[in-house]
Structure 1
Amino acid sequence: MRISTAHAHDQAIETLMKRQVELTDLQDQLTTGKRVAKASDDPAAAARAERALAGVLRADTSQRAVEASRTVMSQTESAMSDAEDLLQEAREGLVAAGNASYSDQERAGLAAKLRAIREQLLSVANRTDGAGTYLFGGQSASAVPFADQPGGVAYQGLTGEVRTEGGTDLPLSADGSSVFMSARTGNGVYVTSAAAGVTGAWIDNGQVSDPGALTGANYTIQFSVSGAGTTYAVLQNGNPTAITAAPYTSGQDIAVDGMTFKISGVPANGDQFTIAPSTPTLSVFDTLDRAINQLSTPGRSAAQIAQGNTDALRDIDQSMGQMQRARAVAGEVLARIEHETSRLDTQKLANQTERSRAEDLDMTQAISEFQNRQTGYDAALKSYSMVQRLSLFQYLNS
C-alpha cells in the first residue's frame, strides 16, 4: 500500500494538534484545580457536584436561620431574667407591706414603688431585638404586643411563635401571652378567695391533700354566727353538702374533697369564701394592679390587709413560676441551637467533601500525567522535524 507524503504530513500535524489540545486541557485543570469545569467534562461527576453544592447552600440557609433564632432567644432569655428580677423586687415590697406596724402612708409608698416596677415590666415585655422585631410579639412580632389600657394591660400580639423552616424548626419570637398572662390562678389547682364585704377573716392559699378526691367543682364556705357560736356550711356548685353547721376554729384546717385550707380571724354572720378550679389566665400586670390598688386604699382592716397580701404574694409567685418555666424553655432552645449548629456544620462539610471528590483535581496525578504528555509531545515534535527534513534532493546531496 502506498501512502503519499502529503497524507503522512497531514496525519502527523493532526496528531501533534491533538496532543497540544490535551496538554492545554491539562494545563487549564492544573490552573483551576478542577477536574470537571463543565458538565460535558464528566456528566455523572458534574451531577454529583451539583447535588453537593445544593446541600451546601441549604446548610448555609439553615445556619443563617439558626443564628437568627440564637440572637432572638438569647435576648428573650435575658429579658425574662430582667422580668424575674423586677418580680422579685415586687415580692419583697409585698412582704414588707404585710408588716402590721406599717401605716397607710407607708403602704401607699410601697404602692408607688410597685407602680414603677409595673412600668419597667411593661417596658421589658415590649422589648425589641434592636431591629424593630418585638421579642414577645408571638406571630405578630412587628407590632407592639402589650398595650396599657384603662382596664389594664392587654395583649395585642398573636399567640404562638414565628419559627424557622421545617429542617430546623426553631423559634424566632416568643409568645408574650404565655409568658406574662397565662400563669395558673390560685395555688395551681384551685383558687381561694374572700367574698366582697369580708373584713374580719381571711383564707390562705390552701393545698391538695388527696389528688384522687378532687372534683373540679366550685365550693362556697358560708358562715353563721349565733349564740351557740360560729359555724360554717360547705356548698358544692350551690348545693348543700354533708358539711353543715360545722364548728369553726380560727386557723384550723378545713378539708373538703381533697383540698385543705385555713380560714383565720373572726368571720361575721353571712361571710362567704369561695374555692374555684384554677385556670391559666393569671396576668402578672393584673396581679400588680390589684396589689397597687389595695396598698393605695386607706382604712383597711387587719384581715383585709392579710387577705390582700396573701393573694398578691400567691399570684406573684405563680407569675414568677410561669416566667421561670418560660425561661427554662428558652434555655432548652439555646441548647438545641448548639446541637443544630454542630449538625449543620457536619452536614455542610460532608457536602463540601462530596463536591470536592466529584470535581476537584488530584494534583499529584495531574502533574505526573502532564509531564508524561509533555514528554510525548516533545518527542513527537522532534520525530516530525526529522521526517520533514527527509526528501529525494537531500538524499542525493548527502
Structure 2
Amino acid sequence: MRVSTQEFYQSSLYSLLNQQSTLNNLSQQLSTGNALINPTSNPVANAQVLDLNSKIANLGSYQQSNTYAQQDLGMSSSTLQSVGTLMNQVQQLAVQMNNATVNASDLHNAVATMQGNLQQLVQLANTQDANGTYIYGGSRANTPPFQLQSDGTVQYLGDSSQKTLEIGPGLTTPISQAGNAVFMNTLAGNGTFTVSGSASNYQIPAGSSGTSVNAVGNTTLGPGSVLNSATANSEFVAKGAQFEVTISNGASGLTYNVTSGTGVVGSAGWTASSGSVVSGTYTPGQSIAIPATEGGSPFITVSTNGEPASGQTATFTLAASKPQSLFQTFSDLITAFSEGSGSPGANTRRAQDISNALANLNQFQTSLLSTQAQIGSQLQQAQSVQSLNTNLTQQFQTARGNLADVSYPQVITQFQESSTALQAAQKAFVQVQGLSLFNYIS
C-alpha cells in the first residue's frame, strides 16, 4: 500500500492535534478540578451534574427562607414573652390596688402606670422584623396594625391572615401571627361566662342619710368556674341563657337566690325562663353552686365575698363570655383605678372590676401560652427541616463530586502519558518528514 505525501501530512497533523486536545483537556481538569470540562466527553455524567446543581440551588433557596422564618418566629416568641412579663406586672399592680386601704395618691399613680403599660403593649403589638414588616399585622405588614385612639381604645387595622414561607419541597410554615387572634379575641371572664355587678350595688339607696359606712355593702363575686362544660355550652351558647344572682340582707337575714332567664337583666326585656333555680341562706365567702333548672345538678359555681348592707340587695349577672381585647382589659383597669377610694361603694366597685380584669388576664395568659407553644412547635419544625436540608445538600454535593471532581493522581498520570505521547508523535513526524530518496542516491 502506498501512502502519498499528502495523506502522510494529514494523518500526522490529525494525530498531533488529537494529542494536543487531550493534553489541553487534562491541563484544564488539573487547573479547575473539574473532570467534565467537555460535556460531550461524558454526556450522562454531565446531565446528572446539572440535575444535582439544580437541586442544590433549590435547597439553598429553601435554607434562606428557613433562616428568615426562624428569625421571625424567634422574634414573635420573644415579643410574646415580653407581653407575658408585662401582664404579670399588671396583675401584681391590680392585686395591690384591690385593697380598701389604698388612698387617692396610690390610685393616681396606678392610673399613670397603667397608661404607660397600655402604650407599651401597643408598641409590643406593633413589633417589626429586620425588614421593617409588622409581625402581627397579618398580610397587611407595611403599616402599624394597632392604633391607640384618643379615647384609650385600640383599633386593629390588620387582617386574619398569616404569612408563610416555603422551607422545603412542598413544606410551608407560618412566619407571623394574626394580631387579632393574639391580642383581640380572647374570651372574657373564665372563658365560658362573665360576672357583672349591677350599678345599684355600689350606690347609697335613695332616702338614706349616707352617714353609716354600711349604707353600701361590699359584696363581690369571683369569676366562677365550670363544673359541666356540655351543660354550660348548652345554656350560655345554645340557649343564650343568663343567670341573675341576688344576695339580700333582709328581715330573714342573709339569703341568696339565682334566677335563670334571657334578655337584659333588670329591664323589660328580661324573661325568667324557669324562675328560681336555687336559693338558700347566704354566708359571706361561700361558693354558690348553680344548676340549669331547679333541682338539677350544678353545672357552674361562683365564689362570693362580703355582704350587702342591712335592707339591701346586691345583684349580679352571669352571661356567656364574649371576645375582649387585652388592650380593653388594660383600659378597664385604668377605669377601675380611676373610680376613687374611701367610700364603701367605690371600694366595692373597684374590687369587682379588678376581679373581672384579673379573670380576663388569666384567660389571656392561657391563650398566650398556647400561642407561644404553637410558635415553638413551628420553630422546632423549621430547625428540623433546616437540618434535613443541610444533610441533603451534603449528599448531593458528594454525589456531584464523585461525578465531576478530578482524581488528581489519575489525571496527573494521564497528563504525563499524553505529554510523552505528544512529544513522541512530534519527534516521529520530524524524522519521517526528513526522509527522501535523494538522500540515498549517490
1:245-284 equivalences under 5 Å are 245-256=279-290, 257-267=298-308, 271-279=314-322, 281-284=323-326
CA gap 1:241/1:365 in 2 versus in 1, 3 angstroms: farther
Secondary structure, aligned partner of 1:394: helix
Structure with higher strand content: 2
Contact 1:134 1:141 in 2 (8 A): yes
Contact 1:163 1:169 in 2 (8 A): yes
Counterpart code for 1:182: N
- Deviation of 1:136 after TM superposition, in Å, equals 1.5
C-alpha distance in 2, partners of 1:244/1:134?
51
User: Aligned to 2:369, which of 300, 324, 329?
Assistant: 324
Unpaired stretches in structure 2, ≥5 consecutive residues? 203-216, 263-271, 291-297
TM value normalised by structure 1? 0.90
CA gap 1:295/1:40 in 2 versus in 1, 3 angstroms: same
Secondary structure, aligned partner of 2:402: helix
Contact 1:223 1:269 in 2 (8 A): no
Secondary structure, aligned partner of 2:99: coil
The answer to whether the aligner puts 1:61 opposite 2:102 as a matched pair is no
- Deviation of 1:144 after TM superposition, in Å, equals 0.6
User: Aligned to 2:378, which of 333, 346, 365?
Assistant: 333
CA gap 1:289/1:388 in 2 versus in 1, 3 angstroms: same
C-alpha distance in 2, partners of 1:233/1:87?
34
User: Residue 163 of structure 1 aligns with which residue?
Assistant: 164
Contact 2:156 2:180 in 1 (8 A): yes
CA gap 1:336/1:382 in 2 versus in 1, 3 angstroms: same
Moved more, 55-64 or 157-166: 157-166
Deviations 1:124-175 (A, max 9, x none): 1112224321122122111111011236111111123111126342333222
Secondary structure, aligned partner of 2:187: coil
User: Residue 239 of structure 1 aligns with which residue?
Assistant: 273
Secondary structure, aligned partner of 2:194: strand
Contact 1:232 1:248 in 2 (8 A): no
Secondary structure, aligned partner of 1:258: strand
- Deviation of 1:16 after TM superposition, in Å, equals 2.2
Counterpart code for 1:293: T
TM value normalised by structure 2? 0.82
C-alpha distance in 1, partners of 2:61/2:163?
17
Counterpart code for 2:316: F
The answer to whether the aligner puts 1:356 opposite 2:371 as a matched pair is no
User: Aligned to 2:221, which of 197, 203, 208?
Assistant: 203
The answer to whether the aligner puts 1:194 opposite 2:188 as a matched pair is no
Secondary structure, aligned partner of 1:170: strand
- Deviation of 1:234 after TM superposition, in Å, equals 2.3
- Deviation of 1:366 after TM superposition, in Å, equals 1.7
Secondary structure, aligned partner of 2:186: coil
Moved more, 372-381 or 87-96: 372-381
1:102-141 equivalences under 5 Å are 102-141=102-141
Contact 1:144 1:156 in 2 (8 A): yes
Deviations 1:245-304 (A, max 9, x none): 54433322221242111233334766432223334x221110011111111012434432
C-alpha distance in 1, partners of 2:437/2:114?
118
Counterpart code for 2:227: S
Contact 1:222 1:270 in 2 (8 A): no
- Deviation of 1:222 after TM superposition, in Å, equals 4.3
C-alpha distance in 1, partners of 2:303/2:10?
114
User: Aligned to 1:227, which of 225, 234, 251?
Assistant: 251
CA gap 1:125/1:47 in 2 versus in 1, 3 angstroms: same
Moved more, 86-95 or 4-13: 4-13
Query: Percent identity at matched positions?
Result: 26
Deviations 1:328-374 (A, max 9, x none): 33333333332222122122222222333333332222222222222
Contact 1:216 1:276 in 2 (8 A): no
User: Residue 291 of structure 1 aligns with which residue?
Assistant: 333
Deviations 1:96-124 (A, max 9, x none): 10122112342232122111111111111
CA gap 1:6/1:295 in 2 versus in 1, 3 angstroms: closer
How many aligned positions are there? Answer: 396
User: For the aligned residues, what is the CA RMSD?
Assistant: 2.5
CA gap 1:244/1:31 in 2 versus in 1, 3 angstroms: closer
Contact 1:220 1:272 in 2 (8 A): no
CA gap 1:321/1:392 in 2 versus in 1, 3 angstroms: same
